[in-house]
Amino acid sequence: MSKNNFFFQIMDGRAPTPECAKTLGVQFTKIDTDAGTIEAEFEGRKEFLNPAGNIQGGFLAAMLDDTLGPALVATLDEGEFAPTLNLNVQFHRPGKTGKFVGNGRVVMRGRDICHLAGELRQDGKIVATATATAAIRKL
């Protein structure tokens, strides 16, 4: 792991924050690179609502992707990236506007392929869970 990988360059302001992360209002609140875990906060905005008044599932999935992926990416060496190969999301209850907290972890890290898992909560209740597979690649 390198504190000079692109994740930490973004965190330290040496590289720009991706626009998609800005849209979701992501803020990383806890990072444990040794354990491969991360906690992130997101802002569920009114622009994310579907006609029923709930946060549209694609935004919840994006929040989970922006939780699980960084749990792995924060552990990578400089010059490495980890695109998501698949993302499986389960929705448990509707999300409303306001703060969401995502917890992600690296479940298994191989040389090239990694398995990730995590949860998205609102007001302490699980809104959605996800598992993902990512591949470690050289930039």
Average pLDDT, the chain: 95
Instruction: Judge whether residue 2 has pLDDT over 70.
Output: no
Instruction: Judge whether residue 129 has pLDDT over 90.
Output: yes
Q: Which range, of 14-18, 90-94, 109-113, averages the lowest pLDDT?
A: 14-18
Which residues are CB-neighbours of 16 under 8 A, at least 6 positions away?
10
**pTM of full prediction above 0.85:** yes
Q: Are the C-beta atoms of 139 and 76 separated by less than 8 Å?
A: no
Summarize the confidence of residues 54-72 as an average pLDDT. 98
Task: For domain 6-138, give the fold.
Answer: Thiol Ester Dehydrase; Chain A (3.10.129)
43-57 confidence digits (pLDDT tens): 999 999 999 999 999
Which percentage of the chain shows pLDDT scores above 90? 86
Polymer length in residues for the chain: 139
Which percentage of the chain shows pLDDT scores above 70? 99
8-25 confidence digits (pLDDT tens): 888 898 999 999 999 999
Q: List 27's β-bridge partners, or say none.
A: 41
Q: Give the pair of three-digit tokens for residue 33.
A: 């690179």
Q: Are the C-beta atoms of 55 and 93 separated by less than 8 Å?
A: no
Q: Give the pair of three-digit tokens for residue 114.
A: 């990694």
Instruction: Judge whether residue 4 has pLDDT over 80.
Output: no
Instruction: Judge whether residue 136 has pLDDT over 70.
Output: yes
Q: Where are the domains of the chain?
A: 6-138
Q: Are the C-beta atoms of 55 and 95 separated by less than 8 Å?
A: yes
Instruction: Judge whether residue 1 has pLDDT over 80.
Output: no
In whole angstroms, what is the distance from residue 65 CA to residue 59 CA? 10
